[in-house]
Structure 1
Amino acid sequence: MNPHKLDEKLLVCGQITPEDIDQAASAGVRLIINNRPDDEEPGQPLSADLKAKADALGIAYRHIPISGGNFDEASVADFGDALASADGLTLAFCRTGTRATTLWALSQAGSRPTAAILSAANAAGYDLSQLRGRIETASASSPNGPATDRPAARYDVVIVGGGAGGIATAASILKRDSKLSVAIIEPRTEHYYQPGWTMVGAGVFEPKSTCHSMASVMPKGVTWIREAVQSFQPEQDQVTTANGRAIGYRALVVAPGNVLDWDAIDGLAATLGQNGVTSNYRYDTAPYTWELVRNLREGVALFTQPPMPIKCAGAPQKAMYLSCDNWLERGVLNNIDVAFHNAGGVLFGVKDYVPALMSYVERYGIDLNFEST
């Protein structure tokens, strides 16, 4: 099985086997759509057998067979309805993936610009240029007009970003009023609980415990739009995704997170994760923090905090306190010179250092350094 991504919610591929469904389940697929009639060729797995395997793994299954190149409106509508009903990633297949891609393209008419539909199909390896006329006709005849002239969907609240902030905000809103329509726009399929990386760096958590499928953490009642936001149109109360889809809202929450600029420090990107240089701000380097802590018996331990804005102003200090506690417990703290360098004159908005934390600084003998920037 070699699936191609059409958008953040749909994968297409050629004929699959029951064994491929195991792989699909591991990838987070929640719905399988079979667009191939049974008995097209010898040895082809029966739809009933594929459905049985999908059912056993808790994956929804739909059979919408297409033969003779007849993409009737009923089949297109069934395909669109199936996609809309999916609570996560969908895998659609036929002999080569072309029929599945065609059904997807026709089902998107009126909700995405024609150019965006054809471009996505072409990027996946399917040339559907011959469908341009049909898609444009369907789009123009849509009750609400072409996709470029209207939001494809509208919600009470749209949240950009499916990180801890976006997920928690959605859950909090729905807890207060479950009748509100809430959508989260997030292209990633994996959710990382980044506050847990500090615990990974201290040997308390395993890295895998901080990573879950995005579908598994999405609050009940939220519509997950698996795309990336391309632009904002506040005057129209809408955002536009990278696929050209317009999403309308009554209220907008923007929580996409920060992009870390490792290259802002010369040479950091090249040495991070090796040579004794680490960070708890990354999933792949937090385990290296714990490796360094548990193996250090003497020498210098330098902890740094960059200037704001940063993801969490407490993370560098927590890493330091947890490390020092480990060294104290092992009886090697007196052999280690611990220094904390803050690139700024304040910490948590307090000049110099937070008084309540000074007892820890004194307990561990930490050398504090503040540098105004």
Structure 2
Amino acid sequence: MFKTIVIGSSNKINVVIRQFSITSARNAQHQSKIVIVGGGSGGCSVAAKFVNALGKNNVTIIEPANKHYYQPLFTLAGGGLKKLSQSHKDMSDVLPKGAQWVQDSVAEFDPKNNTVTTKLGDVFKYEVLLIAVGLQLRYDDIPGLVNALDNYDNVGSIYSPKYVEQTYRAIQTFEKGNIIYTYPNSPVKCPGAPQKICYIHENFLRKMGKRNNANVTYNTSLPVIFGVKVYADALWKVAKSRNINVNLRTCLVEVHPEKNEAVFQNLDKPEQKFTVEYSMLHAVPPMGTPTPLKTNKDLANDMGFLTVDKSTLQHTRYPNIFGIGDCTDSPNSKTAAAVAGQCNVVFKHMRAVLDGKPLSLAYDGYASCPLVTGAGKCILAEFDYNLQPLETFPIRQDREMYIMYLFKKELMPFLYWNLMMRGYWNGPAIVRKLLHLGMKN
């Protein structure tokens, strides 16, 4: 008989498992055909596919959060082009109803015994495991940054919902001085976002008649402004035409908010540090995988990322484990569009393992980064593992276009909530073939 299990947390009682035929005792043993760790873009989309294919009660999702965020909207909300409230829904409304939701987080992976253990002590045994835990924001890795974000209204960050609205208020109240935007010395999710918010804010200042009062600087730890040359060339033109200073290999290492000072390091000459006074600072935190994955040497590489075959997304040591999204060492750009390109490959391959069949598909590294450069302007970057353009439309996409802005602002959120989160969107590959008449672009 199936029933709802209620498991307690430290502050209140939460319903954490829906329709699960097991007792609610702590340290209970559970079994599931498919266990998915993480209810973000990758975990939810693959879970929906399995529920659609196999029916109810074959999938267990372990996810502690109450809200599911469509994070690509954070950039628009931080620039006043969308509202933060439009970026999230209740997790219970997004996860597929036929799946069993465990509202907890994983404390330990044990791939040798095909189990995961949650923080509350439950052990889940699986036939096939999908790890979709994403990246954690590590603001506290930069001394002074948490204090600056929590206590000063001229410092913002679009990467956390806690600070998105604060970021927009900061640019609204700016009067004059230095505005600095940063990119950390670590892998990041949505690597275009740190400069997108710079362009959006610069455009906002022009509309408000304050641009002449601002010295706008984008400091990035990367050796290039963008990884794909054709789009990088376009972005250099945007930056130069708008008098935005771009400093490569320049990393934020400390903040002194009481003095409005940011300390930067020249990564090519680490002994060289310099301090800049700011009127407004937008900081992007270093990021990394959650500790249970990062410290598991059976699963992760030296940087803490899940080791997978970049084509099949199957773990390199354990064939019944797969990865999706930001937490894997697959060398693609970490974006929601990349997850869309991965989800059908992961689903088909997980099912092949269940059925004892060979893996038949290959993920090509597709990722997309809609580079919004202001209200009504967007360069739609699409590319593959080789950092070569893999564009959907049969036109040049390395230029600012209003239609691409509409796709980013209106169409992509619709596709995400109504198709991808329900298991019906695998990225634009089919659309690309149709528009290019089946020819490679």
User: Structure 1-normalised TM-score?
Assistant: 0.57
Name 2:148's counterpart in structure 1.
271
Return the offset for 1:322: 0.9
Query: Which runs of structure 1 show a deviation greater than 6 angstroms over 4 or more consecutive aligned residues?
Result: none
Alpha-carbon separation, structure 2, partners of 1:324 and 1:265: 25
**Does structure 1 retain, via aligned residues, the 8 Å contact 2:19–2:100?**
no
**Does structure 1 retain, via aligned residues, the 8 Å contact 2:104–2:118?**
yes
Name 1:108's counterpart in structure 2.
24
Q: Which residue of 303, 310, 328 maps to 2:181?
A: 303
- Secondary structure in structure 2 of the residue aligned to 1:236: coil
**Does structure 2 retain, via aligned residues, the 8 Å contact 1:345–1:352?**
no
Name 1:232's counterpart in structure 2.
109
1:197-256 residue CA offsets vs partner (Å, 9 max, x unmatched): 212211122223323221011124222112221111111222112232221223222122
Alpha-carbon separation, structure 2, partners of 1:167 and 1:279: 26
Alpha-carbon separation, structure 1, partners of 2:44 and 2:242: 37
Q: Which residue of 138, 143, 164 maps to 1:286?
A: 164
Unmatched runs of 5 consecutive residues or more in structure 1: 13-27, 31-82, 87-105, 114-146
Q: Which amino acid aligns with 1:269?
A: V
**Does structure 2 retain, via aligned residues, the 8 Å contact 1:7–1:226?**
no
Name 1:204's counterpart in structure 2.
81
Alpha-carbon separation, structure 2, partners of 1:348 and 1:360: 12
Q: Which residue of 205, 220, 237 maps to 1:327?
A: 205
**Does structure 2 retain, via aligned residues, the 8 Å contact 1:345–1:351?**
no
Higher helix content, 1 or 2:
1
Name 2:195's counterpart in structure 1.
317
Alpha-carbon separation, structure 1, partners of 2:234 and 2:49: 31
Q: Which residue of 341, 364, 367 maps to 2:242?
A: 364
1:92-143 residue CA offsets vs partner (Å, 9 max, x unmatched): xxxxxxxxxxxxxx9435xx43xxxxxxxxxxxxxxxxxxxxxxxxxxxxxx
Unmatched runs of 5 consecutive residues or more in structure 2: 1-5, 250-266, 269-441
Name 2:95's counterpart in structure 1.
218
Q: Which residue of 9, 19, 26 maps to 1:85?
A: 19
Query: Percent identity over the alignment?
Result: 33
Q: Which residue of 31, 36, 44 maps to 1:159?
A: 36
Alpha-carbon separation, structure 2, partners of 1:84 and 1:193: 24
- Secondary structure in structure 2 of the residue aligned to 1:312: coil
**Does structure 1 retain, via aligned residues, the 8 Å contact 2:153–2:166?**
no
Indicate the structure whose relative CO is greater, using CA pairs within 8 Å and at least 6 residues apart. 2
Residues 340 and 164 (structure 1), Cα distance of their counterparts in 2 relative to 1, 3 Å cut:
same
| Higher CA-based Rg | 1
Residues 6 and 179 (structure 1), Cα distance of their counterparts in 2 relative to 1, 3 Å cut:
closer
- Secondary structure in structure 2 of the residue aligned to 1:354: helix
Alpha-carbon separation, structure 2, partners of 1:271 and 1:352: 36
Q: Which amino acid aligns with 2:42?
A: G
Q: Which amino acid aligns with 1:85?
A: Q
Q: How does 1:76-155 map to 2 (within 5 A)?
A: 84-85=18-19, 107-108=23-24, 112-113=26-27, 147=28, 151-155=29-33
- Secondary structure in structure 2 of the residue aligned to 1:345: coil
Return the offset for 1:266: 1.8
Residues 359 and 170 (structure 1), Cα distance of their counterparts in 2 relative to 1, 3 Å cut:
farther
1:20-79 residue CA offsets vs partner (Å, 9 max, x unmatched): xxxxxxxx979xxxxxxxxxxxxxxxxxxxxxxxxxxxxxxxxxxxxxxxxxxxxxxxxx
